[in-house]
């Protein structure tokens, strides 16, 4: 049974600090059992731009902060290139606990499934309620799934702004980990340019 999903809980959570505290006790899905800790969203309370990734990775799980590993470094550089200060946005994930498969001493990332994404959406909704961003950026397929409520391909959604059910502007782009995996230099450069363009568009739409 989800431990926190009542109207009461929602009305008790009035600040990001309270939300973090509540998230720390999350048992809505089994992922909390093996993760080191929950990784809450991070950033300005009234950020006009919210970026949504998939789930914390190994480094994020240890640090308790989103986007501090290799994908986070790429994202930081991309934000800087797009002229967006990291401190002025709100960075979060569709799923707040690290899902992995142990392989010797390593922990290999595993994609969250539909049930885990669904259970964790409640927390994302609380972040959205408190931050109330003008624009959301979905970084990759898991973020698209949670923000649009169904699985859709990135390529079909890219290139123009859309709206979520509550009318928030949504920009869909690739996940930074995808860019890290591209081997061919030309393709990587092309995809990188597209990623920066998507971030710039989101920033402009946010009126920043």
Residue closer to ligand URA, measured from CB, 43 or 53: 53
Among 40, 41, 43, 66, binds ligand URA (CB under 6 A): 66
HEC string of the chain?
CCCCCCHHHHHHCCCHHHHHHHHHCCCCCHHHHCCCCCCCCEECCCCCEEEEECCCCHHHHHHCCCCCCHHHHHHHHHHHHCCCCHHHCEEEECCCCCCEEEECCEEEECCCCHHHHHHHHHHHHHHHHHHCCCEEEEECHHHHHHHHCCCCCHHHHCCCCEECCCCCEEEEECCHHHHHHCCCHHHHHHHHHHHHHHHHHHHHHCCC
Number of residues that bind ligand URA (CB under 6 A): 13
Query: Which pair of tokens denotes residue 106?
Result: 């390593």
Segment near ligand URA (CB under 6 A); pick from 18-26, 62-70, 76-84, 112-120: 62-70
Cα-to-chain-centroid distance, residue 53: 3
Among 40, 57, 112, 133, binds ligand URA (CB under 6 A): 57
The distance of closest approach from Cβ of residue 94 to ligand URA in the complex, given in angstroms and rounded to an integer, is 8
Does residue 43 touch ligand URA according to CB under 6 A?
no
Does residue 71 touch ligand URA according to CB under 6 A?
yes
Segment near ligand URA (CB under 6 A); pick from 67-75, 111-119, 184-192, 197-205: 67-75
Does residue 38 touch ligand URA according to CB under 6 A?
no
The distance of closest approach from Cβ of residue 95 to ligand URA in the complex, given in angstroms and rounded to an integer, is 9
The distance of closest approach from Cβ of residue 59 to ligand URA in the complex, given in angstroms and rounded to an integer, is 8
Segment near ligand URA (CB under 6 A); pick from 6-14, 16-24, 49-57, 123-131: 49-57
Site map (CB under 6 A) of ligand URA, residues 92-131, x = contact: -x--------------------------------------
Q: Alpha carbon of 185 to those of 71, 108, 122, 162, 190: distances in Å?
A: 18, 25, 39, 31, 9
Residues that bind ligand URA (CB under 6 A): 53-57, 60, 66-67, 69, 71-72, 93, 177
């Amino acid at each position: 049974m989800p431990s926190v999903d009542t109207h009461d809980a929602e009305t008790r959570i009035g600040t990001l600090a309270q939300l973090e505290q509540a998230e720390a006790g999350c048992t809505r899905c089994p992922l909390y059992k093996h993760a080191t800790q929950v990784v809450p969203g991070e950033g300005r309370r009234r950020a006009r731009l919210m970026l949504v990734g998939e789930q914390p990775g190994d480094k994020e799980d240890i640090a308790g902060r989103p986007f501090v590993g290799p994908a986070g470094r790429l994202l930081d550089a991309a934000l800087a290139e797009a002229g967006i200060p990291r401190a002025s946005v709100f960075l979060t994930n569709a799923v707040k606990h690290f899902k992995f498969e142990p392989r010797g001493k390593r922990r290999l990332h595993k994609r969250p499934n539909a049930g885990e994404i669904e259970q964790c959406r409640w927390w994302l909704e609380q972040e959205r309620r408190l931050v109330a961003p003008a624009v959301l950026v979905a970084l990759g397929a898991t973020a698209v799934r949670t923000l649009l409520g169904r699985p859709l391909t990135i390529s079909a959604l890219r290139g123009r702004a859309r709206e979520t059910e509550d009318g928030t502007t949504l920009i869909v782009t690739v996940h930074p980990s995808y860019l890290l995996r591209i081997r061919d230099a030309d393709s990587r450069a092309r995809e990188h340019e597209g990623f920066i363009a998507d971030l710039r568009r989101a920033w402009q739409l946010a009126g920043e």
